[in-house]
């Protein structure tokens, strides 16, 4: 491939990694349409390549959140018990699905994500600092109760274990099928349904994104759909961008950025339908 194109992909990856890590999502939602529209990649290859790349942006962002002590490993393992099988099954369904149908699924998912991002501006964060510790874990039959001490305030999360595994399986299936990082669905699920503080939801979601991408990548690798020559500059760029973005995320106002990003996401979705 032309070195200039690879360089432009690298620069784009830095920008997307920077923005995505600041607003708490993976870069797949933006990068997949770019690969399809401008590089004319088959959507199956584009999704497989970005699922592979999402492991690195997830791991890169996870390191920052882990150092800030806002990752709940026990909760992540519970959710991933459903997500990983779903993510692994997705590639086997994907190769049997028409490109046109898969495109409609992807566009629908991106529109839903853009709506969520606008609505999320009305969700008040629990706090602005990263001081958190898990105080107690209680199992009551089919429920997991987690108590957090966050900014000297106690938060209780009640997780329905069977329901969480079922929903997580569906999320994993969607993640692997359309290539969108699971944080866009896991963060609102953990925060709004389970009651986990927002910053812990985001930090934990990045751990789950990393684990889910491993499973989905293994599935796509069986069909040799990953374009590693394109993935290399994407991975390097996403790592650099996510490291920068996650470090400045708490220093800059995100409300206007989310609105701009959601509009861009909607426009790209419409553009994919037209093209």
pLDDT tens digits, 123-141: 554 433 334 444 445 556 7
In sequence order, what are the beta bridge partners of 153?
Answer: 150
Low-confidence ranges of the chain (pLDDT < 70): 23-24, 26, 95, 97-100, 102-103, 106, 117, 120-140, 150-153, 175, 178-184, 250-258, 260-261, 264-265, 268, 271-272, 274-275
Query: Taking the domains of the chain in order of start, what are their residue ranges?
Result: 3-274
Q: Using a pLDDT cut of 90, give the percent of the chain over it.
A: 12
List helix spans (H) across the chain. Answer: 3-23, 28-38, 43-67, 73-94, 99-119, 161-178, 183-188, 198-221, 228-248, 255-274
Are the C-beta atoms of residues 241 and 14 closer than 8 Å to each other? yes
Per-residue pLDDT at 3: 87
Would you give the distance in Å from CA 41 to the centre of its chain?
22
Q: How many Cα atoms occupy the beta-carbon half-sphere of 171 within 13 Å? A: 27
Which pTM value belongs to this model?
0.71
* Alpha helices (H) along 179-254: 183-188, 198-221, 228-248
């Amino acid at each position: 491939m032309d070195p200039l194109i690879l360089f432009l992909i690298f620069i784009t990856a830095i920008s997307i990694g920077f923005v995505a890590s600041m607003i708490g999502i993976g870069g797949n939602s933006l990068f997949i349409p770019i690969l399809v529209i401008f590089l004319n990649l088959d959507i199956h290859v584009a999704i497989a390549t970005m699922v592979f790349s999402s492991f690195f942006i997830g791991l890169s962002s996870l390191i920052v959140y882990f150092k800030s002590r806002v990752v709940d490993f026990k909760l992540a393992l519970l959710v991933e018990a459903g997500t990983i099988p779903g993510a692994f099954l997705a590639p086997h369904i994907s190769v049997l699905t028409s490109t046109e149908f898969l495109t409609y699924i992807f566009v629908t998912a991106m529109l839903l994500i853009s709506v969520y991002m606008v609505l999320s501006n009305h969700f008040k964060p629990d706090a602005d600092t990263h001081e958190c510790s898990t105080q107690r874990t209680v199992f009551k039959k089919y429920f997991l109760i987690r108590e957090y001490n966050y900014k000297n305030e106690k938060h209780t999360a009640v997780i329905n274990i069977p329901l969480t595994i079922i929903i997580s399986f569906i999320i994993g299936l969607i993640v692997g099928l359309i290539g969108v990082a699971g944080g866009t669905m896991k963060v609102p699920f953990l925060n709004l349904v389970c009651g986990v503080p927002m910053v812990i939801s985001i930090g934990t979601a990045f751990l789950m994104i990393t684990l889910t991408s491993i499973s989905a990548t293994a599935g796509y690798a069986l069909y040799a759909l990953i374009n590693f020559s394109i993935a290399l500059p994407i991975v390097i760029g996403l790592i650099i961008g996510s490291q920068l973005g996650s470090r400045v995320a708490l220093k800059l106002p995100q409300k206007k950025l989310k609105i701009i990003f959601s509009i861009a996401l909607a426009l790209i979705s419409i553009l994919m339908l037209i093209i």
